Amino acid sequence: MKPITLAVVALTLCTASTVVAQDKLIKIKPNYQDNQVKQETKAKSLTIGDKAPAIDITHWVKVAGEKVEEFEAGKVYVVEFWATWCGPCVRAMPHLSELQEKYADYDVKFISVSEESLEKVVSFLFQENKKDGKIQNDRIAYTLTTDPDKSVKKDYFLAAGQTGIPSAFIIGKDTRIEWIGNPGYPIGEFDAALEAVVKDTWDREESKTKFEAAMAKQRKATSQRQKFTEAMKDEEWAPAVEMSWDNANALNTIAWRIADSADVKNRDFKVALKAAKRANELTEEKNAAYLDTLARVYYETGNLKEALIWQRKAAEAVLEGSPMADGILEYLKKYVKEAGSDA
């Protein structure tokens, strides 16, 4: 494996950059285009089987081997999106380094891309990792880059409909996309895909079918969330309940908002009761928060008897030391006091 070169850039915008490559000190002219935002265009779609777009990297911060001017046939590449603030990204670094070293002799190259500034990434590299006490730079054995103009993000991450990082793209030996997803989850999936691509046992068509089915499901879920958000904003409770009928958390949110939020104008307790009952049905009356919500809805409708029944269930279900325990017990006392001898 070729040595890794770390470029340490002087954190100043008014002087020429200073780069330390191994033991050599080199003066380079400032690249004034680095701070210019390229004209944004609508991102093209990208799926498995498509030709991998060229990567227009702004800063090659740490290079394992050589920079990639273009993808070469016969080689395998992994383009991964990460950020210094992303916990899962940072935790995955040692494992990605192991994979880079494992497949170094198979012409596999990992290229990680952050949209953060060069200064932020360089600063991150010299920080100590709190988990293992190592300097971040020493935990990374692959190529690290920054792309603050987000051109690579647009061509890959956004074009493929990705929504979270880390996100990786495996580029096969014919320079086409083979796999897209989270390199850390589900555990082992990325590793298995990379090995299959390297050893020419990968089924691209099957991968494409699975990916596009997952993306269709994601788009549907995103659309439903947007509709739910709009319904909640407009206080259209009935449609919100209908689209969330099998989502206990969403149903509880609806019921609690109607019963507890002072800014709500449409306090439809009939819908709130329906939502709260369904939330508890879905969770087999074992969730203390949902039981507490149902009790509150009954209380707000003047049914103190039912409020007491369900608040007692909430008190029995809540875990000792839970942040909500005090509130649940406080309302139980309130209902008992108001019920008096009927409690």
pLDDT digits (tens, 9 = 90+) for 204-229: 999 999 999 999 988 888 888 888 88
Q: How far apart are the first and last CA of the chain?
A: 76
Q: Which CATH number goes with the domain that contains 79?
A: 3.40.30.10
Query: What single DSSP character describes residue 135?
Result: B
Number of structural domains the chain divides into: 2
> Residues of the chain with pLDDT > 90: what percent?
73
Q: Are residues 253 and 193 in the same domain?
A: no
Q: Which CATH number goes with the domain that contains 331?
A: 1.25.40.10
Q: Are residues 329 and 285 in the same domain?
A: yes
Domain span including residue 60 = 4-29+44-202
pLDDT score, position 30: 34
On the question of pLDDT at 11 being above 50, the answer is no
Q: Are residues 196 and 238 in the same domain?
A: no
Q: What are the residues whose beta carbons fall under 8 Å from the beta carbon of 193, sequence distance 6 or more? A: 170, 178, 179, 202, 207
Q: Are residues 98 and 147 in the same domain?
A: yes
Q: Are residues 189 and 244 in the same domain?
A: no
Contact assessment for residue 125 and residue 135, using Cβ atoms and an 8 Å cutoff = yes
Assigned domain for 150 exists: yes
Assigned domain for 284 exists: yes
Contact assessment for residue 177 and residue 50, using Cβ atoms and an 8 Å cutoff = yes
Using one digit for the tens of pLDDT, what is the confidence trace for 268-309?
A: 999 999 999 999 999 999 999 999 999 999 999 999 999 999
Which residue reads 């707000």 in tokens? Answer: 300
- To the question of pTM greater than 0.75 for the whole model, the response is no
Contact assessment for residue 304 and residue 335, using Cβ atoms and an 8 Å cutoff = yes
Give residue 27's pLDDT band: very low, low, confident or very high (50, 70, 90): very low
On the question of pLDDT at 20 being above 90, the answer is no
Q: Are residues 145 and 17 in the same domain?
A: yes
Query: What single DSSP character describes residue 277?
Result: H
Assigned domain for 167 exists: yes
Assigned domain for 166 exists: yes
Average pLDDT along the chain: 86
Residue type, 339: A
